Chains A and B, each alone.
Chain A
Amino acid sequence: MTTNEEKKKRTEMLVEMRKERRETVQRAQELLKAQQSARKALERALTGGPHSVPQLAQAVNMPAHEALWHIAAMKKYGIVAEAGTDESGDYYLYRLVKEA
């Protein structure tokens, strides 16, 4: 069991680490902000139904290779899943898992 004393020590340590690595943390925060914004946009597009990567890219105004990167990552962490293919049979469609 973690005591209050240990929790306090940990918090102090994290504050100290953030101070020591200010530039790294700032860079990571910017990356996180951009990533969260991209993910929200993709999730919003997917609430309208399954999309292929080019459809998503168009919907959120993002290069298709970037949309694919996000979809691959979201699939890895269980946020999206495949939902068959489009009419041409050339592209897989993706859907939000929580909608299923």
Chain B
Amino acid sequence: MSTNQIKVDALVVGGGISGMQTALDLGDQGYKVAVVERKSSIGGKMIDLSKVFPTLDCCSCITTPKMSATAHHDNITLLTYSEIESINRDGNGFKVQATKKPRYVREDDCTGCRSCELVCPLEVSEDEHEFGRTSHRVVYVPFSTAVPQKALVDLDHCLFCGKCIQACPSDAIDFTQQPEPVEIETRSIVLATGFETTPINAKKEYGAGKLRNVISGMMMERLLAPTGPYGRVLRPSDGKMPASIAYVQCAGSRDQTLGVPYCSRVCCMYAIKQAMLLSGALPLAEITIYYMDIRTFGKGYEQFYQNAKAMGVEFLKGKVARITEDENQNPIVRVELIDEFGKTRVTERQHDLVVLSVGLLPGGNPQPKFGVPVGEDGFVQVPDYNVFPAVTSQPGIFVTGAAAGPMDIVDSIMMAGAAASSAASYLEAGNGSRKEAQRQPERSVEYA
């Protein structure tokens, strides 16, 4: 099998918001960039979110144009559904071996018309974006704004009935596809591997993931998004519109028992944002946030918190000890409440739906492949964070977004600028396997 070869100035690992922004910033400066994304579409976590805080702008409206700009940029090569296998230093640059996983659909031929999906007889749980709350067919386009808008086949559930082959107008289905090796020669690397969230089953005190009406903050994002599994905020046990919703803060951060002693920085704000959105979606619902401290550190964040209080969201200081459920699957929260005088009282309160404000964990460990050290928290270590926030200890390897530590969208986009700038300075100094920087003329692109 022939190996595809790509020669670029920068390789961005991860196609979330920070990776895309880094690629766009470098591409706009004339550098050749490759973006490698392990999932079938770029967009990262942000494309699954409902709205951003504190402006309440639509996430999809911000992310989709950036996804499109990344895919159509003259200087950016996009490799989705691909994994990095190994990295070797080659002079001052790197030789990277990647594998493009088979979609069993030829990308060049697929038009994303979904004719195959509509005739496929079998549905399986949609776990990647919808937490198993709805289905997708065995051959499917991942979601309506996926980039690239190409189908893929879940071969582990395929009946090989051939209906998709008959339905495809461009003859794109190909069950004989094999993993495809790709060799990338690059002068620099930017890690944008993002984050994962604390698993919903991490804490047995909170039901260990077995209580149907105890969900994660990310799942609530999907319920609030118009493209979500129900198109409404319904509770998963029986489809009831919840009249009482509670948030449990620090349900996966600042918790030594989970090995996550740090603050995840975004949970307070996403809980407040969701509470405000729920007030709009379910005007009669009572919304309670159980918190230890509310941390509103960013521009406009404190005002956002005050607005939520003024809208009637109930903020109760106290640590939730346990969550159980009654015979109707209503979650019961046992909490030690602390009043303004510091007096405590243990109480139990029933809600229709409980949201765990789960924390942020590293999206992967880049140390074995990239040789970049990680800190005690598992995020990429940055030796001189105050001065060079995107520069790792490995020459030519940079980091951006939540790969470096928990951060929100605003900071991830800002850090993408820093990573692109650091990488450009590195390249401009003549570093990399090619002796002279082969810059393309600068171009102006409007993408947002």
Contact = CB atoms under 8 A, between A and B. Distances in A.
A85 to B, nearest CB: 8
B114 to A, nearest CB: 10
A83 interface: no
B175 A17 contact: yes
Interface string A8-41: 0011011001100100110111011001100000
B158 A65 contact: no
Interface string B174-214: 01100000000000000000000000000000000000100
A17 B133 contact: no
Interface residues of A, number: 37
B157 A64 contact: no
Interface in A65-87: 65, 67-69, 71-73, 75-77, 85
B237 interface: yes
A38 B6 CA distance: 49
A21 B160 contact: yes
Contacts of A53: 238-239
Given A24-B156, A72-B230, A14 B162 contact: yes
A2 interface: yes
Contact of A32 (B121, B176, B232, B239): B121
Contact of B160 (A25, A64, A69, A75): A25
- What DSSP secondary structure best describes chain A's contact surface? helix
B159 A91 contact: no
Interface string B136-178: 0110000000000000000111111110010000010001100
A72 B243 contact: no
A75 B176 contact: no
Given A32-B159, A65-B236, A91-B240, A13 B175 contact: yes
B123 A54 contact: no
B102 interface: no
Given A14-B160, A69-B135, A76-B135, A54 B165 contact: no
A11 B175 CA distance: 12
Contacts of B175: 13-14, 17
B123 A73 contact: yes
A41 to B, nearest CB: 16
A49 to B, nearest CB: 17
A22 to B, nearest CB: 10
Interface size class of B (residues with CB under 8 A): 35 or more
Contact of A68 (B155, B231, B236, B241): B236
Contact of B212 (A25, A52, A65): A65
B306 interface: no
B158 A28 contact: yes
B134 A73 contact: yes
B109 to A, nearest CB: 14
B134 A76 contact: yes
The residue among A64, A72, A73, A75 with the most chain B CB atoms within 10 A of its own CB is A72
A77 to B, nearest CB: 8
B234 interface: yes
Nearest to B117: A77
Contacts of B162: 10-11, 14
Contact of B133 (A28, A29, A69): A69
A97 to B, nearest CB: 14
B122 interface: yes
A57 interface: yes
27 contacts: A10-B162, A10-B165, A14-B161, A18-B160, A21-B155, A21-B158, A25-B158, A25-B160, A28-B157, A29-B159, A31-B122, A31-B124, A32-B121, A36-B121, A54-B239, A64-B237, A64-B239, A65-B212, A65-B238, A68-B238, A71-B239, A73-B123, A75-B230, A76-B135, A90-B240, A91-B241, A92-B232
Given A24-B157, A71-B239, 12 more contacts: A13-B176, A14-B160, A25-B159, A53-B238, A57-B238, A65-B212, A65-B238, A67-B239, A69-B132, A72-B134, A77-B123, A92-B241
10 residue pairs, one from A and one from B, having the closest CB atoms: A53-B239, A73-B135, A64-B238, A72-B134, A17-B160, A68-B239, A18-B160, A14-B162, A28-B159, A32-B122
